[in-house]
Structure 1
C-alpha cells in the first residue's frame, strides 16, 4: 500500500490544521520583538517625562539647595515690626537730703514707745552691751525706722565695735539693757539732759543732744534738721545722724570731747561737730581704716 505524502512541508514534518508549523514560528518571534520594542519605548518615554518634570519644577532639588536659595525669596505677608525696646537709662542716684521739710512738734508728753525688735550682735569680739531704742509718743517718728538708723550707725564699718573689744546688741523695751537710745522732742530732751546734769540750751532753747547716765538722748530738732553749717556745706542728713548717734554713744562708753587736729583733716567723732567744725571736715566715725581716729583732748 503506497504512503501518501501531503504537499506543502518537508518530509517528516506533518502539517497541522490550518497550515504549516514552520510559518507560525517567525510570527511569534516578530510578536515578541514588537513587544520588547514597545516596552523599551515606554521606558524611554518615562525617562523623558521625569527629565521634563525635573527641569520644570526646581523644588525637587535637594533640601540643602532649597534652604540656601529658595526660602529667603518667598513672598509672604510680613508681621509689622515690633517697636524697638527703649534703651534703659542709667539709674539716677537719689538726690541727697540735707534736712527734712514739714512741721513736727517741739514738745511732747515725755512718754516713750520702744522698738521691740531683737537685733543682731554687732562686732566680732569683746563684751556685749545691750541697748534699747525708744521714741517719744506724738513725735511723728517711727520706732522701727529710728532703730534701723541707730543700728546702721553702730554697725559701721568705722563704728565703736571696730575696736574688737566691744559688741553691741539691740534688745526689746522690756529687756535688761546697759543703756537706751531716746529720740525726744526738744523740750523733753532738754528736761532729760538737765536731770542728768547737762545743759543743752543755745540762746535759751534746747539745741544739742546729750548723754545722761544710761541714756543717749537725741534731740528731734537735730534729727530732722541737722545743723546750719552741715546744710550749708551740703553734708547729707544721714551723715549728721550717724555722727550724733556715735558721738553720744561715745560719751556712754566713757569718751570725752576732742578738738580738730588740723585744718582740712577729718573731724574726730568726739569733736562737738553740732556746734562747729573749726576747719575740719565732717566725719561720723570713731574708726578710720580700722584704727581709732581721735583729736587732741578738749
Structure 2
C-alpha cells in the first residue's frame, strides 16, 4: 500500500512537470505567429507608403520594388536634365534643349516718336561713277537708334559692289552738312504715315516710301525685317535702302522672273515672293542686273 501511494504521488509530480513545460512552449508559438503576422502586415504597409513617397520625389522604379512602370512614368519628368540616375552616383547628363533659355523676343518698336529728326554726324567718300548723289541720314528722336551707326550701315550698303554703283552710271556720298540730293529718314510708324500720307501714300504703319527728295524708312521694318525675307536683319535693311534708292535713280517696280530665281531688288518682296528667292542686291556677283517683268 505504501509503495502504491508513492508511485501515484510520483506520477502526479511528473504530470505537473510536463504541463509546466508544455504551457510556456505553446504560449511562445502563439506569440511568434502573432508577431510574424503583425510584422508582415506592417512591412507591406510600409513598402507601399515608401514606394509612393519615392515616386513623388522622382526616383526611378529600379529603386522601389513595389512601384509599377506606369506609375514611374507618370511621376517622373522624362526630360534628360530631370531624369534621375538608377544609382546614387552624380550624373553628367547635359540639360535638354527644352531647358535652354529661349532667344529674347524682338526689340519693341515705338509706334511714335518726337517727330523731330537728328542729322547723322557722319561723312564718307564718294563711291561709284558718273553722277555722284550726296545724301544725308536723319533719325527721329525718341527711338533709341544711333543716327551715326545707321548712317555708316547705309553707306556700306550703297557702296557695296553688288549695289547700284555696279551700273557704272551712279554713285553716292554720305554727307552731314551742305547740299544734299536726297535725305534718308528713319522714323516711327506714325511719323512715316504722316510724311507719306501727306503725299497721298497709304503706308498703314507698316511700309516705307519715297516722297520727293526723301526716302522714308519705317523703323518697324528697320528693326524687325519682314516675314517674307529669310535672312539676317542686316540683309533686309540692305533691301530697304536699295529698293527706295532705286526709285531715286529712276527704277520702277518689277515682278518675280520665275520660281527659284532671285527676286529683283525692285520687287515689293514684303508683299510675297511669288516663288522667287529673297534677295537684297540689284546685281549678282558677276555684275548682271537681277531683273523681272515690269509691274504697274
TM range (shorter): 0.5 to 0.7
1:102 alignment partner in structure 2: 107
Is 1:112–2:117 an aligned residue pair?
A: yes
> Whose relative contact order is higher, 1 or 2, with alpha carbons under 8 Å and at least 6 apart?
1
Shift of 1:229: 2.5
1:294 alignment partner in structure 2: 291
**Distance 1:128-1:185 versus aligned 2 partners, 3 A rule:** same
Counterpart secondary structure, 1:113: strand
2:215 alignment partner in structure 1: 216
Q: In structure 2, how many angstroms separate the alpha carbons of the residues matched to 1:102 and 1:284?
A: 22
Q: In structure 1, how many angstroms separate the alpha carbons of the residues matched to 2:186 and 2:198?
A: 16
Q: 2:179 aligns with which of 176, 181, 186?
A: 176
Q: In structure 2, how many angstroms separate the alpha carbons of the residues matched to 1:259 and 1:104?
A: 30
1:111-150 pair list within 5 angstroms? 111-123=116-128, 125-150=129-154
2:203 alignment partner in structure 1: 200
1:11 alignment partner in structure 2: none
Deviates more, 1:108-117 or 1:132-141: 108-117
1:34-45 pair list within 5 angstroms? none
Q: In structure 1, how many angstroms separate the alpha carbons of the residues matched to 2:267 and 2:107?
A: 30
Higher helix share: 2
Instruction: Give per-residue Cα distances to partners, 1:12-52, cap 9 Å, x unaligned.
Output: xxxxxxxxxxxxxxxxxxxxxxxxxxxxxxxxxxxxxxxxx
Is 1:249–2:245 an aligned residue pair?
A: yes
Q: In structure 1, how many angstroms separate the alpha carbons of the residues matched to 2:208 and 2:121?
A: 23
TM-score (norm 2): 0.62
TM-score (norm 1): 0.62
1:2-151 pair list within 5 angstroms? 101-123=106-128, 125-151=129-155
Contact 1:268 1:293 in 2 (8 A): yes
Contact 2:192 2:208 in 1 (8 A): yes
Find the structure with the greater CA-based Rg. 1
